[in-house]
């Protein structure tokens, strides 16, 4: 597991010290380089780098337009189930939370897909809680077989799987897998994951190796900003992305920027918000621009967790993929019910409103990623 091994070798206290010791001179030298090192990335996300947000935004915008054109990929999450066998203090699906549990039948999944297609979407992210016995491979295989020909690009964000399971799902048409590490600090990770298989830090960290070896087209990574030191977690995410590109060059890398939000059953998102500093929007802007400058090839994704105003502001600066009109509960597109939400979203605009905002920024929405599965096989 080459990527996981390299990540485990990092001294996080040294990373934190390095980030916080950066000076204005370090930031300026990083901005003068064509190719940045991880140390340069740490300078850009450092407290010293905050004063250079305008210069970073200007460069990030130019690099994004050069690499990706004036386009924005649009996708939608489809929540299949909120069953979960883990205890995570920041999530509305956590097993001890007394909410109504729901797993969509295949018939209900097809109804959701039709509702999603009516909104215009063709790229779909399947999301579940992590419950291997009730929402596992048999269910995933049935779901993919039922819907694959109905969408152009199919992604999954579920519990980490074995390599051979990823290979099976790829054969059924799976294009991308997202596995967020939440935090790269084993100590912080243990604090927030107290029961269930998700307690296994290394099994989750090694997921990108298994996904890469299975030959999946895209690997999505990210940290839940606010669980630990967001700058340290972001530096580790940046390294993670580069390592994937180095060892699994056939797969694209996507980086997301989820911040802690309030969730069903707990208005503060668990204990996390009281134990660590949540990055503000200025910090998040700095972080997005730093990732673009450090890794010009990476796809950067932003969800509806963030406000409409913020999303509109960062649209041109580095983001290449956005969700819109998201529902974070099973059955949410055909029969919305806030009682089942995993977390609260902030951008509640309609699809047409998001498309209009993109147009005002000179960006064209892209509804399909690559060619349909049926044309590739």
Q: State both tokens at 311.
A: 């999303």
Lowest pLDDT segment from 5-14, 104-113, 319-328, 344-353:
344-353
Alpha-carbon span 268 to 168, nearest angstrom = 39
pLDDT of residue 220: 98
Q: Is the dihedral of CA 291, 174, 216, 251 positive or negative?
A: negative
Predicted confidence at residue 112, as pLDDT, reads 98
Take residue 290 and report the two structure tokens written for it. Answer: 């730093």
Q: Give the pLDDT confidence score for residue 275 in this predicted structure.
A: 43
Number of domains comprising the chain: 1
Tell me what the mean pLDDT of segment 103-120 comes to. Answer: 97
| Residue range 130-144, pLDDT digits in tens | 999 999 999 999 999
Asked if 345 and 328 touch (Cβ cutoff 8 Å), the reply is yes
Give the separation between CA 153 and CA 178, rounded to whole angstroms. 14
In tens, the pLDDT along 293-326 reads: 999 999 999 999 999 999 999 999 999 999 999 9
CA 243-320-204 angle, to 5 degrees, is 40
- What are the CA-CA distances from residue 32 to residues 17, 48, 293 (Å)? 23, 16, 11
Q: Residue 51 is encoded by which pair of tokens?
A: 């004063």
Q: Distances in Å between the alpha carbon of 95 and those of 49, 85, 139, 186, 198?
A: 40, 6, 20, 21, 12
In this predicted structure, what is the pLDDT of residue 271?
Answer: 46
Q: 131 burial class (0-12, 13-18, 19+ CB within 10 angstroms)?
A: buried
Q: Which residues pair with 253 in a beta bridge?
A: 219
pLDDT band (50, 70, 90) for residue 336: confident
d(CA 373, CA 192): 38
Residue 264 pLDDT > 60, yes or no? no
pLDDT at res. 260: 87
Query: What percent of the chain shows pLDDT beyond 70?
Result: 92
Mean pLDDT computed over 88-103: 88
- The confidence band for 150, taking pLDDT boundaries of 50, 70 and 90, is very high
Give the residue among 235, 220, 243 at the shortest CA–CA distance from 321: 220
d(CA 5, CA 102): 37
pLDDT confidence tier of residue 344, bands split at 50, 70 and 90: low
Which residues span the domain enclosing 139? 2-376
18: CATH: 3.20.20.70
């Amino acid at each position: 597991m080459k990527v996981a091994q390299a990540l485990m070798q990092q001294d996080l206290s040294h990373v934190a010290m390095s980030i916080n010791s950066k000076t204005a001179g370090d930031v300026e030298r990083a901005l003068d380089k064509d190719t940045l090192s991880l140390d340069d990335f740490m300078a850009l996300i450092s407290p010293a780098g905050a004063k250079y947000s305008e210069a970073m935004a200007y460069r990030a915008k130019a690099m994004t337009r050069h690499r990706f054109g004036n386009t924005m990929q649009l996708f939608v999450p489809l929540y299949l189930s909120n069953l979960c066998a883990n205890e995570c203090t920041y999530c509305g699906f956590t097993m001890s939370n007394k909410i109504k549990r729901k797993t969509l039948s295949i018939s209900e999944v097809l109804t959701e897909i039709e509702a999603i297609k009516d909104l215009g979407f063709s790229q779909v992210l399947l999301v579940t809680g992590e419950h291997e016995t009730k929402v596992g491979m048999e269910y995933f295989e049935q779901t993919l077989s039922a819907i694959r020909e109905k969408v152009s690009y199919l992604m999954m964000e579920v519990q980490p799987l074995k390599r051979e399971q990823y290979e099976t799902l790829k054969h059924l048409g799976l294009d991308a897998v997202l596995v967020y590490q939440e935090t790269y600090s084993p100590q912080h990770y243990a604090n927030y994951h107290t029961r269930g298989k998700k307690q296994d830090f290394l099994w989750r960290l090694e997921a990108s190796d298994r996904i890469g070896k299975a030959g999946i087209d895209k690997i999505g990574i990210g940290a839940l900003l606010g669980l630990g030191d967001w700058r340290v977690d972001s530096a580790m995410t940046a390294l993670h992305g580069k390592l994937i590109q180095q060892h699994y060059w056939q797969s694209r890398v996507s980086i997301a920027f989820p911040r802690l939000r309030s969730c069903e059953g707990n208005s503060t998102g668990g204990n996390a918000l009281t134990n660590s500093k949540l990055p503000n929007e200025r910090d998040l802007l700095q972080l997005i621009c730093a990732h673009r400058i450090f890794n010009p090839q990476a796809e950067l994704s932003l969800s509806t967790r963030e406000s409409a105003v913020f999303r509109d502001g960062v649209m041109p600066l580095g983001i290449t993929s956005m969700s819109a009109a998201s529902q974070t509960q099973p059955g949410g597109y055909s029969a919305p019910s806030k009682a089942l939400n995993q977390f609260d979203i902030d951008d509640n605009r309609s699809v047409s409103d998001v498309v209009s905002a993109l147009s005002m920024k000179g960006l064209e929405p892209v509804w399909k990623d690559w060619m349909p599965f049926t044309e590739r096989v």
